[in-house]
């Protein structure tokens, strides 16, 4: 039994949740003060909206349906939280000569390569860069996390001096350099 899937999900005031059928499954749309999100869920899980409570139940008692149960509950909770208060991730760029700036819908980086690195910001996400702090904000938790991870992958922090791009609360394990005899 899924502990997360069994719990009822409360819909806060100001958020509207609607459900519709499609050929791929159920389409759940969550509209709130910050925007609208929609996601398609497979028919293996029954999603019931009654008043301001959402409940999820499994149709078949097999391993695949049980694994989707808690996952779908988490997706719905994240959608409701996102339209109420946007998700935010922060990156810190450390290193001599490393720079970041936002120009329109693009992030421009100087990461020590022979060329500047330009990354376009996807729709639904806002990015700001002040000094060497980059802030990624959006209502879709999955999109914010994936985009932030793809930016961090451009220059991962190295263990000797800690240069590179790291998350705000990330701790880099440092290695000791070469010893002289």
Q: Tens of pLDDT along 85-104?
A: 999 999 999 999 999 999 99
Name the pTM for this structure: 0.90
Any domain includes 180: no
Which H/E stretch holds residue 73?
helix 63-84
Domain count across the chain: 2
Any domain includes 175: no
Residues 96 and 122 occupy one common structural domain: yes
Residues 52 and 124 occupy one common structural domain: no
Helix/strand/coil for 52: coil
Read off the pLDDT of residues 45-58 as tens digits, 9 standing for 90 and up: 999 999 899 999 99
Any domain includes 100: yes
What is the full DSSP assignment across 163-176?
-EEEETT--PPP--
Residues 106 and 138 occupy one common structural domain: yes
Any domain includes 99: yes
Two structure tokens written together for 131: 């000094």
Residues 10 and 36 occupy one common structural domain: yes
Q: How far is residue 92's CA from residue 133's CA, in Å, rounded to a whole number? A: 5
Range of the domain at 130: 87-167
Q: How far is residue 154's CA from residue 149's CA, in Å, rounded to a whole number? A: 9
Residues 57 and 97 occupy one common structural domain: no
């Amino acid at each position: 039994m899924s502990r997360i899937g069994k719990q009822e999900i409360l819909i806060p005031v100001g958020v509207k949740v609607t459900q519709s059928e499609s050929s791929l499954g159920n389409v759940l749309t969550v509209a709130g003060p910050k925007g609208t999100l929609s996601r398609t869920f497979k028919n293996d899980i029954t999603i019931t909206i009654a008043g301001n409570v959402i409940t999820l139940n499994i149709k078949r008692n097999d391993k695949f349906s049980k694994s989707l149960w808690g996952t779908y509950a988490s997706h719905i909770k994240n959608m409701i939280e996102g339209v109420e208060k946007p998700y935010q991730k922060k990156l810190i760029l450390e290193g001599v000569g490393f720079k970041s700036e936002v120009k329109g819908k693009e992030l421009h980086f100087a990461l020590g390569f022979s060329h500047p690195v330009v990354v376009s910001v996807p729709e639904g996400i806002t990015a700001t860069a002040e000094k060497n702090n980059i802030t990624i904000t959006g209502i879709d938790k999955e999109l914010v996390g994936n985009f932030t991870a793809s930016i961090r992958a451009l220059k991962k922090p190295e263990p000797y001096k800690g240069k590179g791009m790291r998350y705000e609360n990330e701790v880099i394990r440092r290695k000791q350099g070469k010893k002289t005899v």
